[in-house]
Amino acid sequence: MSDALVLVINSGSSSLKFALMDAQTGDAVISGAGECFGRDDARMSWKVDGEKTEKTLSAGSNHHQEAMDIIVGLIESNQLSDKLQAVGHRVVHGGETFSQATLIDDAVLGQIDALKALAPLHNPAHVVGIKAARQAFPSLPQVAVFDTAFHQTMPEKAYHYAISRQLYNDYGIRRYGFHGTSHYFVSREAAKWLNQAPEQTNVITVHLGNGASLCAVKDGQSVDTSMGFTPLAGLMMGTRCGDIDPSILEFLSKKGLSTDEIHHELIDKAGLLGVSELTNDCRGLVDAAEQGHKGAQLALEMFAYRVAKYIASYMVPLSRLDAIVFTGGIGENSLPVREMILKELAIFGYQADAEANAAARFGAAGQITTQASPLALVIPTNEELVIAQQAMAMA
């Protein structure tokens, strides 16, 4: 173990995930998560050296603070305090204010809080976590790493919607893009794989998890991405609809659905789950499709078709494409889905290599296309490592 440990924190409104990471090796020395904060069944679990412990949190207490106290206790009891150099916080929305990881002071915390206008569910929860961590580790640098930051290099023609300029000026309505930390990481890893400098690498990164997005990376920079003003846009996802005709909202509203009901339809009841009427879990869908479930078959076909269409459209901003890079739970593991996507891209000459495709899963990286095909890679993402390294760089 090196002497450079970083505490990585992802604080949600009712949860807090953490990992004490070696910023050089990427190994998590201690990791854990708390859930159901604010409720009587709030609890926390963590792993030290592979050994799992679970604890119920006190009813009625400030669970974020209680979780942080537990983390401090774990670090102290494992004699790791001297090695801890920084705290890195995942922050969903950095708006146009933050284009890179940023050392947190009172002013920065105020700016993160102000961005709750754009991310009402996430940013206030991050602020709670940051405050608790600042109290627990007052002498350590605290660094915010934003999901949106990597996409701040998009040109205007990519990030503007074709709506009145007034809506952008008044409300900041534009494409921000998310999953930036993952797109950044896998595009860098792809450059290493290709033996090229990141600044000379052009890839399309395809993050397929429960949330899913693509990014066109030109010369190492994001030039377009499929998520938009919110993470609802772009691809069909586990339970999210992705791109739809915006007039559907007005139509449903006139049918009597409230704004909240429409939102719920598009965010929680749509995507793989909505189409299959079965599950949002890719594994379950693949099994059901094999057994002839029509809804599962259609959901997977739509999913692959839409990813392929986005990939094809991202050839436009790239003058040259070095590789398509799959990542995320589905991208890293689902052979059939990757194969379906590459089949949809046959016009460009893509062809999956069955053996290589079968080998690249459960954390294994590698090429999944034949020698005759343009290149597609699988690269497992590691957002926590990016947060740890970017926090360490500011310590």
Nearer to ligand ADP, 198 or 329 (CB): 329
268 binds ligand ADP (CB under 6 A): no
Binding mask 349-378 for ligand ADP (x = CB under 6 A): ------------------------------
Neighbours of 283 (CB within 10 A): 12
Annotated binding site for Mg(2+): 10, 383
- Residue 198's closest CA among 214, 186, 210, 208? 186
Q: Reduced to 3 states, what is the DSSP secondary structure of residue 160?
A: coil
Which residue number has the CB closest to ligand ADP? 329
Stretch that binds ligand ADP, among 74-82, 140-148, 196-204, 205-213 (CB under 6 A): 205-213
Annotated binding site: 10, 17, 90, 207-211, 281-283, 329-333, 383
Nearer to ligand ADP, 96 or 287 (CB): 287
196 binds ligand ADP (CB under 6 A): no
Q: Considering the complex, what minimum distance in angstroms separates the CB of residue 336 from ligand ADP?
A: 8
Annotated catalytic residue: which of 27, 106, 147, 322? 147
Q: Reduced to 3 states, what is the DSSP secondary structure of residue 30?
A: strand
Stretch that binds ligand ADP, among 62-70, 129-137, 207-215, 219-227 (CB under 6 A): 207-215
380 binds ligand ADP (CB under 6 A): no
> For 238, what's the count of Cα atoms within 13 Å in the CB-facing half-sphere?
17
Annotated binding site for substrate: 90
Structure tokens at 293: 């479930």
Give me Rg for the CA atoms of the chain: 21
Identified binder of ligand ADP from the candidate list 181, 333, 373, 390, rule CB under 6 A: 333
Q: Considering the complex, what minimum distance in angstroms separates the CB of residue 178 from ligand ADP?
A: 11
C-alpha pair distances (Å), 234 with each of 199, 229, 316, 382: 26, 10, 17, 22
Q: Considering the complex, what minimum distance in angstroms separates the CB of residue 233 from ligand ADP?
A: 15
3-state helix, strand and coil shares in percent for the chain, rounded to the nearest 5: 40, 20, 40
* Helix locations, the chain, DSSP H: 63-77, 106-114, 123-136, 156-159, 165-171, 180-194, 247-254, 259-267, 271-276, 282-290, 294-313, 328-333, 335-344, 354-359, 383-394
211 binds ligand ADP (CB under 6 A): yes
Identified binder of ligand ADP from the candidate list 19, 75, 91, 282, rule CB under 6 A: 282
> The dihedral of CA 120, 209, 94, 90: what is its sign?
positive
Q: How far apart are CA 5 and CA 168, in angstroms?
A: 41
Clarify whether 147 is annotated catalytic.
yes
* Cβ-based burial of 371 (10 A; exposed 0-12, middle 13-18, buried ≥19): exposed
C-alpha pair distances (Å), 106 with each of 134, 205, 218, 277: 11, 35, 35, 47
Q: Considering the complex, what minimum distance in angstroms separates the CB of residue 332 from ligand ADP?
A: 7
Q: How far apart are CA 86 and CA 77, in angstroms?
A: 18
283 binds ligand ADP (CB under 6 A): yes
Q: Considering the complex, what minimum distance in angstroms separates the CB of residue 361 from ligand ADP?
A: 6
Q: How far apart are CA 387 and CA 67, in angstroms?
A: 20
213 binds ligand ADP (CB under 6 A): no
186 binds ligand ADP (CB under 6 A): no
Q: Which of residues 227-266 bind ligand ADP (CB under 6 A)?
A: 238
329 binds ligand ADP (CB under 6 A): yes
Stretch that binds ligand ADP, among 32-40, 184-192, 208-216, 290-298 (CB under 6 A): 208-216
How far does CA 288 lie from the centroid of its chain? 27
Residues that bind ligand ADP (CB under 6 A): 209-211, 238, 281-283, 328-330, 333-334
As annotated, the active-site residues are 147
